[in-house]
Amino acid sequence: MHLLRVVFLILFSVVLLSLGFQDEPKTEVELGQKLFFDPILSSDKTVSCASCHNPDFAFADSARFSRGVGGKLTKRNTPTVLNMSARDSYFWDGRAATLEEQALMPIQNPDEMNLSIPEAVKRLNNNKNYQAWFQKIYNQAPNAENLAKALAAFERTLETSDTDFEKYMAGDKQAISADAAEGRRLFIGKARCFDCHFGPDFTADEFKNIGLFAGKANDDPGRFSITKDSTDLGKFKVPGLRNIALTAPYMHDGRFKTLRQVIDYYEDPSLFVHGSINTDTTFSKPLLLTEKEKQQLEAFMITLTDKRFRKN
């Protein structure tokens, strides 16, 4: 495991160079980028933010559950950090209200980076480079507030809109296939995807129970764990769909490996989870999609992939 971590960090140093990162960060964004890829913020210095939010997978993870320090598994699937600048809450359960608040939570999480914020700040102050960089950029020593600001500033730059879908909407009707265009019509209409996935990033920033919660001891209650409101049982934040083709596996527990499996699930959720509780009425009836329509729906969602990630 230690050897794998070392190899992983070496590979990420290459990623830093490809992203245009300079040895000395000169702006708040560059400082945040440096911190995002630096394992100094984990207790054993083997895990960075980028360990789970991998650029190769549109800043998500390819595993059902990510591994933190000591090989611990996270309790939920790692969501992408792309296209987060316009969100009004963060994490599957919405426990953070701002990117700054969100940025510090994985550092403290014992299943992820397992480092207290006071200790993280102490490390940065004891590092001559970081001490100098924070002074130059913020005119003050590293502290919890400017650590969060730097990470959030970098994350706000991770917006994507260079897609075939955007070209199609701008008037280039050849930018997507006829099947993908039909998939878009299904997305808005018969497939009812648009009921939850709308807006520029294809998320309404709402919480929905899609039928995965059945009240068993090992079931995740989602938003309820934060609000303690029984109407929130089994609800999770609706994820955006940009670059969705690259962020498998899917759902808060990563149970589906492919987009097609997700589409099959929404065809009739009751066939997958029996006795679900508090399921949104949107999912109460089968979609009655044909095989061809399912293929077209998937073709449309693939058009939401940003150009920089198409090689994947």
Tokens found for residue 13 = 């140093």
Kind and range of the H or E run holding 128: helix 128-138
Instruction: State how far the Cα of 102 lies from the Cα of 87, in Å rounded to an integer.
Output: 11
Separation between Cα atoms, residue 263 and residue 270, nearest integer Å: 13
| Whether the Cβ atoms of residue 101 and residue 127 lie closer than 8 Å to each other | no
**3-state SS class at 165:** helix
Domain boundary assignment for the chain: 2-155, 164-309
CA-nearest of 46, 11, 48 to 33 is: 48
pLDDT of res. 310: 78
Read off the tokens for 29: 């964004």
Work out the number of other CB atoms within 10 angstroms of the CB of residue 147. 25
Q: Which two tokens stand for residue 217?
A: 């001891």
Architecture per CATH, domain 164-309, reads as Orthogonal Bundle (1.10)
CATH topology of domain 2-155: Cytochrome Bc1 Complex; Chain D, domain 2 (1.10.760)
Rounded Cα distance between 24 and 85, Å, is: 25
Residue 226 burial (CB < 10 Å; 0-12/13-18/19+)?
A: middle
R_g of the chain, CA atoms, integer Å: 20
Distances (CA, A) of 96 to 42, 105, 128, 161: 20, 9, 31, 25
* Same fold: 2-155 with 164-309: yes
Q: Which amino acid is it at 235? A: K
* pLDDT tens-place values along the chain, 312 residues long: 444 544 455 455 445 444 444 489 999 999 999 999 999 999 999 999 999 999 999 999 999 999 999 999 999 999 999 999 999 999 999 999 999 999 999 999 999 999 999 999 999 999 999 999 999 999 999 999 999 999 999 999 999 999 999 999 999 999 999 999 999 999 999 999 999 999 999 998 999 999 999 988 668 999 999 999 999 999 999 999 999 999 999 999 999 999 999 999 999 999 999 899 999 999 999 999 999 999 999 999 999 999 998 776
Distance CA 244, CA 187 (A): 14
How many CB atoms neighbour CB 79 within 10 A?
20
Give the pLDDT confidence score for residue 227 in this predicted structure.
98
Q: Which residues contact 106 (CB under 8 A, 6 or more apart)?
A: 49, 52, 112, 113
Planar angle of CA 290, 246, 186, nearest 5 degrees: 25
The tokens describing 36, both together, are: 């995002």
CB 246 within 8 A of CB 184: no
Could you tell me the two tokens for 262? 């997700």
